Structure 1
Amino acid sequence: MLTEQTFQVRHYALSALCFEPEQFTRCIVFLHGWLDNAASFLPLIEEMQKQNSAVKLVALDLPGHGLSSHARDGFYPFHDYIDTLNQVIVQLKQQSTCPVVLVGHSLGALIASCYSAAFPEHIDYLVQIEGYGPISEPEQNALQRLRKGVLSRQRVMQKPERYFNSQAQMKELRAMRYGLTVSQVAALVERDSQHSDKGWQWRHDKKLKANSLYRMSPSHSQ
């Protein structure tokens, strides 16, 4: 049975869906994609539980996503995710000495690749889904990237809040955007939506939609 768990790190309270048997031989940490959340991995987790019940499973909500807290003052630069992940891994290592496996999808795969490169002693296996390494671009794009990123922050913060009539409407919108069925995105949307007196709205932090101020060069990415 999955339970909700919270990891207290330096700037965030990170929510996670966890399965922790009394005895386990390894710990698998799941990192979802941009604007997704821990529920992305529910079908995979359910299948893995059937095949091997002696594995601890931890599906994180990255900062600003799902049920995790939002950035108070800043935005979400890519490298900060790596620092946040390290704090979680250190806590898991303090709880158990069993091997740790990283499974990342999209943005989560990029984070996992960089973390595994910087801290190979902490990770026994790395699985990447739809993501190979950090996004890179030629060095001559740096000035344009910086300008575009700053302007996007202004635009995102000035954008009005969007509300929906129902959670069902949100599910239909997400299903259409992803090319999936409503049932396939249901858990993902339910974890990423909340109701207020003005209607339903997305739970994730809108600042996540701001463009990056900096990207690695191809050589740095390699």
Structure 2
Amino acid sequence: MNPKEIAFETRFGQITGLQWGQGNKQQIVAFHGWLDNAASFSHLAPFLAEAGYEVNAIDFPGHGHSDHRAPGHNYGFVDYVIDIQAVMENFKQPVIFLCHSMGAAIGQLYAAAYPEHVSHLVLIENVGPIPAYVKGTAAKSLREALDIWKPHSLVHKRCYSSVDDAVKARLQATPMDGEIIRPLVRRGLKKSEEGYHWRTDKRLKLRSFFRMSEEQVQDYLSSTQMPCQLIMAEPKSYALNYASVEDRIAALNPQVISAMPGCHHLHMTQAKTIAKEILAFIDHYSHPEQNDKPEPKQHPRPFHPF
């Protein structure tokens, strides 16, 4: 199933994306992870489209084909919530949020602020922004970020002679079958006279100037009002390998926890299985009057606090 290119004009630039299942009545808006793009849903979205959903996966600014922030600006975490707000103006609410990694942290913030816009919240491999602010490190962290910011360059110096070479390079950071990651890599590349280089804005790799406290993060998580599904890799991946993760899951209190063997990008490597989990969750919590439907299967993890 070939996706359709989509674009949203905002007052701060164009946000692009991919759409599967055009015209299907029920709408899903999908948000990718850090340094990924809309094509990370290339394997999962077709299954959801076949089930009757229109899946709209966006490229966050600085990623994929979306515009970059203006020169002199950085990529503050909360600024991405403003990007979601601009995109949501193009949809009839409520919609289903499908969010992976960084996109899960951002999507959850928007859903907490505007629960009337989101009917179901599916979070894959994330429960809030990390790392959180640590008391006593504010000035030191700000200085480090400023020192890194001052000499930064937007010029891409690394080029690849072919898409295959870029795929091999990305596999060093994200190990999986090369053909699975190829759509994501192709969307993240731009061809020049020197070869292929990444489209992603180099400022995405700079240090954050400010971070939320753990108390703030858990406050947002506990404010989730719509049915929520948390999907995690088993064993625990690097993305959820930190001390406060149990407290965050308790604060989020998702209706369904789905944990299964896989990696951080299991929505790509196990798309069919993930699709079944998501569809069962949406179906169950879309018809509260049909209480005879079985609860979606829970897959508890060893550290699950309940």
Is this a same-fold pair by TM over 0.5? yes
| 2:129 is the alignment partner of 1:134 | yes
SS in 2 for 1:134: coil
- Separation (CA, whole Å) in 1 of partners of 2:101 and 2:9: 24
- When normalised by structure 1's length, the TM-score is 0.91
- When normalised by structure 2's length, the TM-score is 0.67
Aligned to 2:100: 105
Displacement of 1:60: 0.3
Aligned to 2:9: 8
Q: 1:108 to 1:23 in 2, by over 3 A?
A: closer
Displacement of 1:160: 5.9
Q: 1:138 to 1:202 in 2, by over 3 A?
A: same
SS in 1 for 2:29: strand
Structure 1 runs (4+) greater than 6 angstroms displaced: none
Pick from 198, 207, 213 the counterpart of residue 209 of structure 2.
213
Displacement of 1:10: 2.0
Higher relative contact order (CA 8 A, sep 6+): 1
Preserved contact between residue 110 and residue 133 of structure 1 (Cα < 8 Å): yes
User: Which runs of 5 or more structure 1 residues have no equivalent in the other structure?
Assistant: none
Instruction: Please say which structure displays the higher CA radius of gyration.
Output: 2
The structure with the greater share of residues assigned to helix is 1
Q: What count of residue pairs does the alignment treat as equivalent? A: 215
- Separation (CA, whole Å) in 2 of partners of 1:166 and 1:23: 37
Alignment root-mean-square deviation, CA? 1.6
Displacement of 1:21: 3.8
Pick from 58, 63, 68 the counterpart of residue 56 of structure 2.
58
User: Which runs of 5 or more structure 2 residues have no equivalent in the other structure?
Assistant: 219-306
- Separation (CA, whole Å) in 2 of partners of 1:80 and 1:182: 32
Aligned to 2:33: 33
Aligned to 2:45: 45
Alignment of structure 1 residues 122-161 onto 2, 5 Å:
122-135=117-130, 136-157=132-153, 161=157
Aligned to 2:114: 119
Displacement of 1:13: 0.3
Pick from 173, 177, 181 the counterpart of residue 177 of structure 1.
173
- Separation (CA, whole Å) in 2 of partners of 1:139 and 1:120: 31
- Separation (CA, whole Å) in 1 of partners of 2:169 and 2:37: 17
Q: 1:2 to 1:64 in 2, by over 3 A?
A: same
1:33 maps to a residue whose letter is G
Preserved contact between residue 37 and residue 64 of structure 2 (Cα < 8 Å): yes
